[in-house]
């Protein structure tokens, strides 16, 4: 009798935990889809606007509102193709990689910082090495990057620094396969190869 009660309790509690985790993952996936649709719509509007403008107008850029899509991140080596949202709070990182507010937009002068969870969008981040390429797209600018620095640092160590030239910093938790709160951070630094204006 006790065995059945314990079994029922464990089954119930396990189902609740699985439901919580599953709903969180589902919410993130739905929001990522929504962000991709919004990004595609913004790209379409941009294309129409570019057809009327002879040159790209830097003032016509995406609005940096928390939760809004601000960039497109592609890393061919690990098959990553994600829309980046503005902000690195729980809701944003649950849905997509997040752009750290206050940092530069990818391709612009300054350090652009993008972070994501190691158990979701950056789950294969550990497979990236020096020399691998990364591509970012903002509205109007596509930039190819090459990873020039890879470091693992303590989670409390200073990691983000302003730079004069265009820099892309990608961060996630380390180790990738770790249960609980990871003690370290994996920091990848990339430099632009050849930025170009999108048609």
- Which residues sit at the interface with other proteins, rule CB under 8 A? 1, 3-4, 6-22, 24-25, 87-89, 93, 98, 100-103, 111, 113, 115-120, 122, 153, 155-162, 171-173, 179-182, 185, 187
Q: In angstroms, rounded to a whole number, what is the distance separating the alpha carbons of residues 173 and 167?
A: 20
CB of 53 to other proteins, least distance (A): 30
**Closest distance between other proteins and the C-beta of residue 41, in Å?**
27
- CB 151, min distance to other proteins, A: 11
Cα–Cα dist 85/36, whole Å: 10
Among 60, 35, 33, 63, which Cα is nearest to 46's? 60
For other proteins, give the closer residue by CB, 111 or 138: 111
Phi and psi, residue 141, nearest 5°: -140, 130
Q: How far is the CB of 125 from other proteins (least distance, A)?
A: 10
For other proteins, the closer CB: 120 or 141: 120
Contact 118, 172 (CB under 8 A): yes
Closest to other proteins by CB, 101 vs 126, is: 101
Nearer to other proteins, 103 or 143 (CB): 103
> 196-197 and 184-192: which strand pairing?
unpaired
Q: What is the largest CA-CA distance in the chain?
A: 79
């Amino acid at each position: 009798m006790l065995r059945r009660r314990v079994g029922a309790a464990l089954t119930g509690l396990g189902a609740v935990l699985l439901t919580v985790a599953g709903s969180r993952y589902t919410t993130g996936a739905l929001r990522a889809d929504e962000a991709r649709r919004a990004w595609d719509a913004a790209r379409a509007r941009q294309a129409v606007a570019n057809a009327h403008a002879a040159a790209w107008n830097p003032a016509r850029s995406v609005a940096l509102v928390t939760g809004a899509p601000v960039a497109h991140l592609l890393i061919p080596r690990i098959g990553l193709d994600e829309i980046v949202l503005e902000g690195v709070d729980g809701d944003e990182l649950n849905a997509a990689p997040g752009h750290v507010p206050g940092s530069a937009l990818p391709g612009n002068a300054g350090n652009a910082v993008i972070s994501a969870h190691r158990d979701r969008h950056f789950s294969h981040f550990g497979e990236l090495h020096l020399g691998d390429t990364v591509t970012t797209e903002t509205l109007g600018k596509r930039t190819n990057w090459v990873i020039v620095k890879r470091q693992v640092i303590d989670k409390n160590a200073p990691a983000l620094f302003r730079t004069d030239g265009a820099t892309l910093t990608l961060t996630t938790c380390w180790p990738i396969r770790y249960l609980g709160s990871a003690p370290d951070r994996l920091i990848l630094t990339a430099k632009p190869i050849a930025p170009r204006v999108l048609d």
